[in-house]
Structure 1
Amino acid sequence: MSLTLSEARARAAQLSEVSYDVALDVGDQGSATFGSRTTVRFRSTGPDTFLELASAEDLTVLVNGETAHPSYDGRRIHLTGLRTDGVNEVVVVARLPYVSDGEGMHRTVDPADGETYVAAYLGMDLAQKVLACFDQNDLKAPVSVSVDAPPAWTVLANGATLDGAPGGDGRWRFATTPPIPVALLVVAAGPWVSRRWEHAGLPFGWHARASLSGELERDFGELRRVTESCYDHYADMFDEPYAFDSYDQVFVPGLNWGAQEMPGCVTYRDELLPRGQVPEDVRMFRASVIAHEMSHMWFGDLMTMTWWEDTWLQESFADYMGYRVAADAAGFDGALVGHEVGQKPDAYDADQRRSTHPIAPEPEDIPDVDAAATIFDAISYAKGNSVLRQLATWLGDEVFLRGVNTHLTRHRFGNATLADFVDALDEAADRDVRTWVDQWLRSTGFDTIRVEREGEVPVLHRDGPRAHRVRVTAYDDAWTVVGSELVDLADEPVPLPAYAGLVVVPNAHGETFARIVLDDRSWQAVDAGLCRIEDDLVRAVVWTMLVDRVQSSALDAVTFGDLVERHLPGERSAMIVSAVLDRTLMRVLPLRTPPDEAAALLERLAASCATGLLHATSPELALAFATGVAAGSRDVEVLRGWLAAGAVGDLALPPALRWDVVRRLAALGAMDADAIELERLRDPGTDAETGATAALAARPTAAAKDAAWSTAADPAVDNRIFAATVRGMWSVEQPDLLAPYVERYLREAPDWAARGQGFAQVVGLARPRIALTVDQVALLDEVLAGDVPTVLRRKWEDWRDDLR
């Protein structure tokens, strides 16, 4: 039932002048459904077409003022007898179900205070879960929205508020939007706490759940500063002005994605507004996400891709701009460190799997929307980001932005393709952009840049077809910078005689996307003194080289553990500490560590973090290292001491870290269900619900695992509770206990994934985080030979490739 490319092309050729009036009724919170009334107007060159509307009850349809009885199959309303000589008006009234999986009108009850929130989380194939619509990007339309809600609530939507206020009659009406993809409609309703202001002649606002009012107040100064700085920067960068009439940003519960770029009202998962101390990597990432989503107001909302093969044209660009503008405008100078060490390794992994695809595939490679869901991945985000950075480096920033502005102006409020973007760049540049695009965007894989020596002289070699412009930095044995320069590397090797006898690091600031292989002289220097490199970004690049070597099996997990043990405690960047921890826990341990060595490596990692904690020079570093201790320490008394004191030394335990400690004690058998329940009641809220769920699942007993499985397998399980349950279940220290659940996961997960694309992503990420046996790998192969939903299949095939 997913929309196909051929259907979308035919419908776009047939229809024009589409517009929507949408009236939603979320006032009765005792009901399992909400009211949806859509009036859609359009011209048609043919008498027949279809609207999408999912799972409707009490459906009525009027076509040009007459009651109609169209065929309806649960997803599509098949319209006949349309006018071909004027505007058609179709009115669709229905009751639609609330959801708990983040796909559609998601309803959440806040465990902190019992308040209810509803929000339309839309996207691919999801607008039809809230309104009757032509659910495709290239039928952009103005949308007018009104909402009936409980009187005490605040309602937010894409347009500025025309009528409605908390404490009024519960009726809200919003300004009509410019033409937007219907998938980018948003409505968010509940007793939000709000901070509003005006900037550059526009109303701005930040909003969050009432129970997070203290956290919003704590961070509002930073959130406002970042918002204004990014807005002003884009206003200078882009010729086209901001196209919408307001700019709200709301932290919402239950969102499957990090954030969504809804025009005029951006949604963020509210984990980005954590309680307690905000970790450095979260602050840095949050700033880059704010910049990322704001760039979508131009790349994605003003100018929109025609079909999903150009996902990269929106996401790669926004990812690139997110890190760039967070650094250049918002004051987060280390933002690129997070990309290099946290996101780029995932892109290298993705580009070595069978599922790799060009950054810009052909339209026919994405035959339907289900297939499109599989390319919202590290290729379209992190690799595309890196490649656009190389393009800007290769062309020069002024030329690059001139082409970007031509493209945006030419396609404002419309749709565009890669060919359109290339035309704009080609007009701006005096270099061969079309060949560059073929090499970088239309092909898969990455080049290797190798350092070799001719005597003492380092020489750069390239294995692959692409031209690179990269920074090479040279160091003496004390890791003092001796020289640094941009170098163009193509077919011919590039000797660097000025750096004879020195350590050299190519791509030192991550200008390109390529595997970097150092010569023995430079590797020895890394082995001896990685933590002595002064520049955070260069250290991030080198750590990425190391994790890539582990992933490709050029470096074994135990040797990597030795490097971590020697160099992580001396690390000065909390973001790098967090990224190395995450990589080790999520990939090195389950994928590259022999099962009989996994527990020991986990304990060594925790010990390394304990050493780093002793010498941490900032609260941010202390928090990052303490998180590593909580992940793998076997010292029950130390962990219990942290809970009793509510602190680690001078660092107050934020709720997320406190629950990490509880989960670790539970996994060690040192905390039972009664103790976990007391913790949950100590400070009720979302952190407590998900934390307690994970801790209960972590206990090392068959009964605990079976109870956790029952929670995860509940067809109505909330997406956050599901994720917390499986996160708690898997442990590299419990392979024998977990063996039956590996099989159950492989057998049962395809049914879970049938709930939808977003939940299928969550299910795929819930895979066992333990080393698989030969028999378990064989079972994975067996299941993949059968019927597995598209999105889950992609996740599992990637998993299978990683196991190789």
Structure 2
Amino acid sequence: MSLTLAEARARSAQVSDVSYDIDLDLRDHAGETFGSTTTLRFTTSAPSTFVELTDARDLVVSVDGRPVEAAYDGRRVGLEDLPVGRPVEVRVEARVPYVSDGDGMHRMTDPVDGETYVSAYLSLDIAQRVFACFDQPDIKATMAVSVAADPRWQVIGNGRVTSSEAGRWVFATTPRLCPSLFVVCAGPWHSVTWEHAGLPFGWHARASLAAELDRDGDELRETTNDCFDHYATLFDEPYPFDSYDQLFGPGHNWGAMETPGCVTYRDEMLPRGRVTDDQRSRRATVIAHEMAHMWFGNLVTMRWWEDTWLNESFADYMGYRVAADGAGFGGTLVVHEATRKPAAYVADERRSTHPVAPAPEDVPDVDSAFTNFDSISYAKGNSCLRQLVTWLGDDDFLAGVNAHLTRHRFGNATLDDLVEALDAASPRDVRGWAEVWLRRTGFDTVVVRRRDDGVPVLVREGVRPHRFSVSALDADGVLVGTRLVDLADEQVPLPEWADLAVVPNSQGETFARLRLDDLSAATVAEHLGDVDDEVTRTVLWAHAFDEVRTGALAPAGFLDLVERHLPGEQRPALVSAVLDRALGPVLTRSTPAAEAPALVDRVAAACRSALAATDDDQVAIALTRGLAATSRDASALLGWLEAGRTDAGVDLDPGLRWSTVARLAALGALDEDAIEAERQRDQTFAGELGAARALAARPTAEAKAAAWATMSAPDVSNRVFEACAQGLWDPERVELCTAYVDAYLADSPAICERRGQGFSLVVGRNAFPALELSPAQRRRLADTLAAGSVPTVLARLWNDQLDDLPDPPQISR
């Protein structure tokens, strides 16, 4: 049972003035457990309460220095007969297990050099897997932390190190934080450090990634400084903590986590070999996103998880904005419009959709809250905020935001608190706006109609006020004009653009489906690639994605667009987005298995044509990745491996090389020995994962059986599980995978019950069968969900997958 809203409200009303002294002993990093000793000081208005500590061994509890026999159920430590109305001190000592799934004190041994790294990766109610605490966001506390570890190591945490002698690190006491924001990362890190704005800054990575961190160090430092300085121009409240470290950590379940003092990122964001401009831009956006959390989430924290959006929507919006305006990575909006926003439209039409800002009662417990870390809370919320800024004006928006941050600094706040601040800063009705945009599910449709005289007319189907750009295209797809319009109940005619194609929301300012008239649709189909403005072009590609999903455009029609317009595309991020869409949802969800090989061949042909047409090396890299995933020319791919570069002159970085190996394995052109030779050639953690994927991709029953056996091992790591799943599922050879689809549906609930939230995310989202499910398998999935025995997080993800299948069976909510 995860913590409920009722329990959290009762406990937060009862306890106050909380502080933690946390002492961790990581010296036995080769063992199964680490030492965790926490001294909690608080005042309580009732004689009984509980603290959380999961899977503790050798538990010892004392109250005001007296040993007590506390009730313990494996997760909650019951505290009775506490003194009321005065400070009490509770000390909890235990041994706590290391984990390999990214939820808790994650331990990883690097195959390159045998070095071990242990890092506390937390979120929601995961702090209790590291130290005893009141594990909820509205009980904030100071944290005084000390860590005993290998003297050769460096330990990084939420604050500055005040002493580090003889293998013991002591950190400055933090300001008031919620438990999920605790962090400790220990190991022989390689570091790049500097001072900026009077604070110590640093970037850290595994020792085996030292060359990569040194390669990118100047850019990472510059990006961090630029984002930091730009936030200083936006927010009145200064950065609220005493240091700013950032660390690439192995095994992270999230893309990154905003823990103050030491932001952690999955270390795939520090790739070996080449770093493309697209990767650099996306990484800068994540850096800016996590930095935004220092104010939204860390300085001011939600009271309960219904206001997840107050963290994530703001950070998502600010991430794209500040990476562009502050750090100089232009074009970040293309990634949002091409990848994340389309996912939000999909999420908003599933049965699981929820308002951006749901009511507290709609998030009854923490497991339910975890499922709301989704495209609604991130991408849709981001899009709604962008619409709010467009509708409200930037000055009024920032005035309201700054009033909110100052009023609630180091405290907790709600949507109503933010709306109150924004409403006071603007003459517009922000409360009314929030009601239709944030408290309701779904989205409007902006329709282009055509009068008899050729004048286009914009019509809203829905209830929300919109302000957005609309652009006109001539018969050759040339942009001839753009204007800002307000669309609500009244239609908006555009007489100056009679007989021209028009594109509503051409700069993506609002969140709405488009429905074009015949003239506009025909012009787009013929000239999409000729549209000069990259954001408008991206909006039109996203419109095509949406039409495939809704059935308005057949997969073959989408491939027509790919073949016609991909060769002229000069934005690498958009090339990648189009290929990811074609080889992702279009292939695995919209295309029958019998037609899958033809789709793959058409994508491969489009990549070859586009490679022949481009002289941009960044575009060529994106296209080569598409070709590596689709080519059937085994001899050519083997030639790539032998030469270390493609016949078009693109060098194989480690990631592209492993993608090529995986494709060759799927074609049956590489056996186990050849894959092992590639692994030996690499000898890194990424190489271990690449080999696992390639072995699973081989088109034999034995290979599929071995992959599932690895995935079923009780202690398999989150990364290995995901890599095997990537290779296991083959949309072109469904018959080879049938038995493992059945095994996946049968075994996953127990796996997730045992491994928890983060692993459930891997199982239900990243490892769901990426191929056509049979009617019997779909019925089995629906029946399993209807039985009600699937763990909450997996049930949400599986229901979403069921909704995304073509013509899903109808089941009750």
Return the offset for 1:538.
Answer: 1.1
Indicate yes or no: 2:225 matched with 1:228.
yes
Report the alpha carbon displacement of residue 63 of structure 1 after superposing the two structures with TM.
0.4
Moved more, 421-430 or 605-614: 605-614
Answer whether contact 2:624 2:650 (CA < 8 A) is retained: no
Report the RMSD for the aligned CA atoms in angstroms. Answer: 0.9
Matched ranges for 1:531-610 at <5 A: 531-610=529-608
Which residue of 333, 344, 347 maps to 1:350?
A: 347
What CA distance in whole angstroms lies between the structure 2 residues aligned with 1:109 and 1:436? 51
Structure 1 contact 279–624 (Cα < 8 Å) conserved: no
Aligned to 1:107: 107
Return 435-444 or 771-780, whichever deviates more.
771-780
Name which of 508, 513, 516 aligns with 1:515: 513
User: Who is 1:335 aligned against?
Assistant: 332
Q: Supply the AA of the counterpart residue of 2:124.
A: M
**Matched residues, percent identical?**
59
- Counterpart of 1:443? 440
1:288 aligns to 2:285 (yes or no): yes
Q: Distance in 2 between matches of 1:67 and 1:424?
A: 48
Which moved further from structure 2: 506-515 or 533-542? 533-542
Candidates 205, 230, 234, aligned match of 2:202: 205
Among residues 482, 489, 511, which one is paired with 2:480 in the alignment? Answer: 482
1-structure distance, mates of 2:411, 2:29: 38
Letter in 2 for 1:74: G
Question: Which aligned pairs between 1:211-610 and structure 2 lie closer than 5 A?
Answer: 211-454=208-451, 455-610=453-608
Q: Report if aligned partners of 1:103, 1:758 keep a CA contact under 8 Å in 2.
A: yes
Report the alpha carbon displacement of residue 254 of structure 1 after superposing the two structures with TM: 0.2
Contact 2:43 2:84 in 1 (8 A): yes
8 Å Cα contact 1:558/1:593 also seen in 2 = no
**Structure 1 residues not aligned, in runs of 5+:** none
Which portions of structure 1, spanning 4 or more consecutive aligned residues, are displaced by more than 3 angstroms? none
- Cα distance between partner residues in 1 of 2:637 and 2:147: 49
Give CA-to-partner distance per residue, 1:30-65, whole Å, 9 cap, x none.
211000010110001111100000000011111011
Report whether the alignment pairs 1:41 with 2:41.
yes
Give the corresponding residue for 1:177.
Answer: 174
Pick one of 793, 801, 804 that aligns with 2:795.
Answer: 793
CA distance in 2, matches of 1:203, 1:615: 48
How far apart in 2 are the matches of 1:596 and 1:689?
33
Q: TM-score, normalised by structure 1?
A: 0.99
Distance between the aligned counterparts of 1:144 and 1:619, measured in 2?
A: 50
CA–CA separation in structure 2 for the residues paired with 1:30 and 1:698? 33
Which residue of the partner structure matches residue 676 of structure 1? 675
Report if aligned partners of 2:570, 2:616 keep a CA contact under 8 Å in 1. Answer: no
CA apart distance, 1:276: 1.1
Alpha carbons 1:5, 1:368 under 8 Å: kept: yes
Residue in 1 aligned with 2:2?
2
Q: Which residue of 1 aligns with 2:119?
A: 119
Give unmatched runs, 5+ long, in structure 2: 808-813
Q: Distance in 2 between matches of 1:522 and 1:243?
A: 50
State the 1:105 CA deviation: 0.2
Residue 160 of structure 2 is aligned to residue 163 of structure 1: no
Secondary structure of the 2:710 match is: helix
Q: Secondary structure at the match of 2:551?
A: coil
CA contact (8 A) 1:150 1:170 kept: yes
**Which of 179, 188, 193 is 1:196 aligned to?**
193
CA contact (8 A) 2:193 2:200 kept: yes
* Cα shift at 1:537: 1.1
Distance in 2 between residues matched to 1:612 and 1:389, nearest whole Å: 34
1:80 aligns with 2:80: yes
* Count of residues paired in the alignment: 801
Contact 1:53 1:129 in 2 (8 A): yes
Shift of 1:618: 2.4
| Residues 477 and 524, structure 2, Cα contact 8 Å, conserved in 1 | no
Checking the alignment, whether the CA contact within 8 Å between 1:281 and 1:578 is kept in structure 2 is no
2:145–2:172 CA contact under 8 A, matched in 1: yes
TM-score normalised according to structure 2 size = 0.98
Shift of 1:776: 1.4
- 1:478 is displaced (CA, Å) by 2.7
Q: How far apart, in 1, do the equivalents of 2:234 and 2:624 lie?
A: 41
5 Å-filtered alignment, 1:633-644, equals 633-644=631-642
- Measure how far apart 1:791 and its partner are: 0.6
Q: Counterpart of 2:697?
A: 698
Distance apart, 1:650 and its partner CA: 3.0
Q: Which residue of 1 aligns with 2:27?
A: 27
- Cα deviations by residue, 1:612-631 (Å, 9 ceiling, x for unpaired): 22233322211110110011
Per the alignment, in what secondary structure is the counterpart of residue 71 of structure 1? coil
- Check the 8 A contact 2:143/2:175 in 1, yes or no: yes
Q: Secondary structure at the residue paired with 1:652?
A: coil
Please give the per-residue CA displacement for 1:156-182, whole angstroms capped at 9, x wherever unaligned: 000111112xxx521101111100111
Aligned to 1:726: 725
Give, in angstroms, the shift of residue 222 of structure 1.
Answer: 1.2
Distance 2:280 2:609 in 1: 24
In 2, Cα distance between equivalents of 1:390 and 1:785: 38
Name the structure 1 match of 2:624.
626
Letter in 2 for 1:502: L
Local SS of the residue matching 1:204: strand
Amino acid at match of 1:800: L
The alpha carbon displacement at 1:280 in A equals 3.0
Q: Distance in 1 between matches of 2:79 and 2:229?
A: 46
Deviations 1:58-116 (A, max 9, x none): 11111011011110110000001111131100111100000000000000011122111
What's 1:735 paired with? 734
> 1:102 is paired with a residue of what secondary structure?
coil
Q: Which range moves more in the overlay, 251-260 or 731-740?
A: 731-740
Describe the SS at the equivalent of 1:341. Answer: helix
Aligned residue identity for 2:427: D
Contact kept, 8 Å, 2:368 with 2:793, in 1: the verdict is yes
Cross-structure match for 2:811: none
Q: 2:757 aligns to what?
A: 757
Q: Which residue of 1 aligns with 2:810?
A: none
Which residue of structure 2 lines up, in the alignment, with residue 53 of structure 1? 53
**Equivalent position of 1:782 in the other structure:** 783
Amino acid at match of 1:361: P
Question: In 2, distance between residues paired with 1:360 and 1:289?
Answer: 23
Q: Distance in 2 between matches of 1:381 and 1:281?
A: 20
1: CA distance between counterparts of 2:756 and 2:584?
Answer: 25
Instruction: Say which is worse superposed, 58-67 or 81-90, in terms of deviation.
Output: 81-90
